[in-house]
């Protein structure tokens, strides 16, 4: 399977409260197909806040979901509250394209965007 025929995804998380990468955040990757949502991979952010081991999407994938277990990360910080214990981002993909989806996180809010 050529990467030109499938979409690829990467992500990273920045804790905007402290201005540093969020290390150790569990991340689940799912794809949507004829059977509904299927878990494809699980990872956790490294010291740079990145998941570098997410696989390419199966051929024909058109929708992807990243689920970030933010409670696991925020519970390690005694002054933080996990107001959003989980952040789920669902997005459409086109074969052959790369999608970098950064998460900017703080205890009471988050933002995501398509990066490069």
Contact of 19 with 105, CB cutoff 8 Å? no
Q: Which two structure tokens, joined as six digits, stand for 86? A: 């989980």
pLDDT mean across residues, the chain? 91
- Name residue, tokens 């009471």: 108
Q: Which of 107, 114, 100, 108 is nearest to 49 (CA)?
A: 100
Q: For residue 1, is pLDDT > 70? A: no
- Name residue, tokens 């669902």: 90
The pair phi, psi for residue 104, each rounded to 5°, is: -100, 120
Q: For the chain, what are the domain ranges? A: 3-110
Buried b / exposed e over 1-25, threshold 16 CB at 10 Å, is eeeeebbebebbbbbbbeeebbbeb
Q: For residue 88, is pLDDT > 90? A: yes
Looking at the domain that runs over 3-110, which CATH code has it been given?
A: 2.60.40.180
Buried b / exposed e over 88-110, threshold 16 CB at 10 Å, is eeeeebeeeeebebbbebbbeeb
Segment 13-43, tens digit of pLDDT: 999 988 999 999 999 999 998 889 999 999 9
């Amino acid at each position: 399977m050529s990467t030109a025929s499938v979409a690829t995804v990467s992500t990273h998380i920045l804790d905007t409260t402290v201005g540093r990468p969020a290390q150790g955040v569990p991340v689940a990757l799912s794809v949507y197909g004829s059977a509904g949502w299927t878990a494809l991979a699980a990872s956790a952010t490294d010291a740079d806040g990145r998941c570098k081991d997410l696989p390419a999407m199966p051929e024909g994938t058109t929708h992807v979901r990243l689920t970030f277990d933010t409670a696991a990360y925020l519970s390690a910080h005694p002054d933080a509250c996990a107001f959003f214990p989980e952040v789920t981002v669902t997005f459409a993909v086109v074969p052959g394209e790369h999608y970098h989806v950064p998460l900017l996180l703080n205890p009471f809010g988050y933002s995501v965007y398509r990066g490069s």
